[in-house]
Structure 1
Amino acid sequence: MSLDKTKVCHELKVIDRIQETEDTISLVLEIPRTTGGKFMYKAGQFVTVFLDIQGEEVRRSYSLASSPEFETDFKITIKLVPGGKGSTYLINNVKVGDKLWVTPPAGHFCLPQTIHNQTLAFFAGGSGITPIISLIKSALKLHPNTRCVLLYQNRSEANIIFKKELTDLATKYASRLNIEFIFSKPSPSWTGLSGRIDQDKILGFFERQKLNQEALQFICGPEGFMNAVVSSLISKQVDKSRIFKESFTVAASPASPATPASLSEDNDLTLDSEAIVIGDKSKLSAPETIEASIEGQLHTVAYKKDKTILECLLDAELNPPYSCLDGACMACIAKVQDGVVYQNDMGILTDDNIEAGECLTCQARPASKNVKVTYEIF
């Protein structure tokens, strides 16, 4: 999807650069008053940075490591991805005083609106600590009766991102925050947990921290790490509704071209067998209109051939939530209330999302005469 970055982004100045580890930096960005509150955010959210790298537009999403309740900084953290265009460019080229094109914050990996003196358990792998530390800081500040525990997996002690900040938090909130580290390749002097994360280590943490099925669980890290944590929690009868997760990896493809579809004389639509179909399949037909509930307001727009739902809404000058535009985040997720849509692939969606009738509107295209989607209000 090609968009004019001047319409979806604001130019933000880098006012500080922090070397977190050998391959990870944080950038503190200045938010101009002219943004009109668009960069107000919740802990756990992310932004998308638009980069011009040798004439190619590259978009990358980065979580906020700062907390709106805890500090005034607006800070994103970037870990070098081997061969990654975005992270390599930012780490090697961006300095204090430079300006970046950045979208307003988005994302649903946030604290629930209501927390009843519950224990909050956090599991982070590598750079997955970025939204996790944001959530921890807000939880400690907003909910004085909650207890937070963190299990943080890294390669070694040298790879701990936010090491000093985590240590300071654990000291300041000694009675409410407990942190355990686990290293896959620790130094000889390390006496704590070591090796790859597995069910035994996760359940051991569960027992040591006296967690129960009522605790809220927050997980962010590589896919294998997250799968191990989720399966371990489910084995302890933790309900899925208490498990919140954010993935940094996705096998998404760009929104175009569209999945091949054929239209019969009586307007019945047939989709490719590999398409991800969401909604009432009995309604497959040539699309005409899209209804979208955005912030409680219902809008109706005409469908445009080969356009995604998000593209149609943006072309109509509406303001649906979105960020990465590539199916690599869940900022544009919406529930299909009526009709049917399809995607080339699942992107970052899970089987649970598909079962719940949810789609990524930057990837999804209508596949029925009328489609109605609802963007949840978070």
Structure 2
Amino acid sequence: MLDQWHTGIVTKLVDETHNTRRFWIQVPDMERFDFKPGQFVTLDLPIHEKKNKRWRSYSIASHPDGSNIIELVIVLLEGGLGSTYLFNEIKEGSELLLRGPQGIFVLPEPLDKELFLICTGTGIAPFRSMANYIHLHGVPHAPIHLIFGVRYQHDLLYAAELEQLAGRLPNFNYIPTLSREENWSGKKGYVHSVYEDILQHEKRPANFFLCGWKAMIDEAKHRIQAMGYDRHDIHQELYG
């Protein structure tokens, strides 16, 4: 099953920020594309002779809605063969070879512990999927903190949508954190100070999901364990 590749058709493209693009992909040979929020797909791109050097994996940014269309959000990496191909060559109507869904970066059941969703950049994708799923299905949950770190306000992905969701979904806190923005009344600095502040007075049972750049994930794992949490409380999905 895992080795089964499908032809996807790009049905829509939207530039979300100056260097990120949203790709909607329909998989015509599947009636519905079933996945768990947090899972990813792998694309096979014509950028190398060797298979494993052609493969690029991306978390699904949309939530399972019973259709055969999924959304990916992809950042254009300087010198990145995969993202350069996707940005320069792929248009609406283009075909992409993909397989999936794959991955075990999925919500715990039940959601009876506080949940920290900590991400940078396009690492927001699986958490957007999870949060929308929890909201739409009325999944009972302990408090959820979505801590999203980027440099500038113009780098925030899905900002309006996540703010709306925070207003509608009880016990869901959306906390964008900007490391370089001057005119910003919200949280400044890096994501680490945010979860440390929330937990500084009391170590409560919690699950930590980390998605984004390796440096952030490595530092978060170190800091979370320094607060007294077990490594089994920490779940990660790496980018780059």
Measured against the shorter chain, the TM-score band is: 0.7 to 0.9
| Aligned residue type for 1:179 | Y
> What TM-score do you get using the length of structure 1 for normalisation?
0.57
Counterparts of 1:200-219 in structure 2, within 5 Å, are 200-207=193-200, 212-219=203-210
Structure 1 runs not aligned, ≥5 long: 1-6, 250-378
Note if 1:125 corresponds to 2:116.
Answer: no
- Deviation, structure 1 residue 21: 0.8
Which of 144, 148, 152 is residue 144 of structure 2 equivalent to? 148
SS across alignment from 1:219: strand
Note if 1:76 corresponds to 2:72.
Answer: yes
Q: Aligned equivalents of 1:223 and 1:53: distance in 2? A: 24
2:178–2:187 Cα contact (<8 Å) kept: yes
- Deviation, structure 1 residue 93: 2.1
Q: Summarize the Cα distance change of 1:73–1:167 in structure 2 as closer, same or farther, 3 Å threshold.
A: farther
- Deviation, structure 1 residue 132: 1.9
Note if 1:139 corresponds to 2:134.
Answer: yes
Which residue number in structure 1 is paired with residue 173 of structure 2? 178
- Deviation, structure 1 residue 62: 1.0
Which residue number in structure 2 is paired with residue 48 of structure 1? 42
Which residue number in structure 1 is paired with residue 211 of structure 2? 220
2:27–2:69 Cα contact (<8 Å) kept: no
Identity %: 28
Q: Summarize the Cα distance change of 1:83–1:54 in structure 2 as closer, same or farther, 3 Å threshold.
A: same
Note if 1:94 corresponds to 2:85.
Answer: no
- Deviation, structure 1 residue 55: 7.2
- Deviation, structure 1 residue 213: 3.3
RMSD: 2.4
Which residue number in structure 1 is paired with residue 220 of structure 2? 229
Which residue number in structure 2 is paired with residue 8 of structure 1? 4
SS across alignment from 1:35: coil
- Deviation, structure 1 residue 70: 9.0
Q: Summarize the Cα distance change of 1:72–1:205 in structure 2 as closer, same or farther, 3 Å threshold.
A: farther
1:128–1:221 Cα contact (<8 Å) kept: yes
Q: Aligned equivalents of 2:41 and 2:184: distance in 1? A: 36
Say which one has the larger Rg: 1
Structure 2 runs not aligned, ≥5 long: none
1:11–1:99 Cα contact (<8 Å) kept: yes
Counterparts of 1:252-271 in structure 2, within 5 Å, are none
Q: Summarize the Cα distance change of 1:141–1:212 in structure 2 as closer, same or farther, 3 Å threshold.
A: farther
1:48–1:60 Cα contact (<8 Å) kept: yes
Q: Summarize the Cα distance change of 1:196–1:66 in structure 2 as closer, same or farther, 3 Å threshold.
A: same
Q: Summarize the Cα distance change of 1:202–1:147 in structure 2 as closer, same or farther, 3 Å threshold.
A: closer
Q: Summarize the Cα distance change of 1:185–1:105 in structure 2 as closer, same or farther, 3 Å threshold.
A: same
> What TM-score do you get using the length of structure 2 for normalisation?
0.87
Q: Aligned equivalents of 1:220 and 1:45: distance in 2? A: 12
1:43–1:131 Cα contact (<8 Å) kept: yes
- Deviation, structure 1 residue 197: 4.3
Q: Aligned equivalents of 2:50 and 2:89: distance in 1? A: 16
Which of 63, 69, 78 is residue 67 of structure 1 equivalent to? 63
Q: Summarize the Cα distance change of 1:16–1:156 in structure 2 as closer, same or farther, 3 Å threshold.
A: same
| Aligned residue type for 1:40 | D
SS across alignment from 2:101: coil
Q: Would you say how many aligned residue pairs link Structure 1 and Structure 2?
A: 235
SS across alignment from 1:105: strand
Q: Aligned equivalents of 2:207 and 2:78: distance in 1? A: 33
Q: Aligned equivalents of 1:204 and 1:104: distance in 2? A: 37
- Deviation, structure 1 residue 239: 2.1
SS across alignment from 1:8: coil
1:119–1:211 Cα contact (<8 Å) kept: no
SS across alignment from 2:125: helix
Q: Aligned equivalents of 1:72 and 1:148: distance in 2? A: 29
2:26–2:68 Cα contact (<8 Å) kept: no
**Alignment deviations for residues 171-190 of structure 1 (CA, whole Å, 9 cap, x no partner):** 222x321111211110x321
Q: Aligned equivalents of 2:48 and 2:234: distance in 1? A: 41
SS across alignment from 2:164: helix
Which residue number in structure 2 is paired with residue 25 of structure 1? 21
- Deviation, structure 1 residue 35: 3.1
Q: Aligned equivalents of 1:168 and 1:148: distance in 2? A: 15
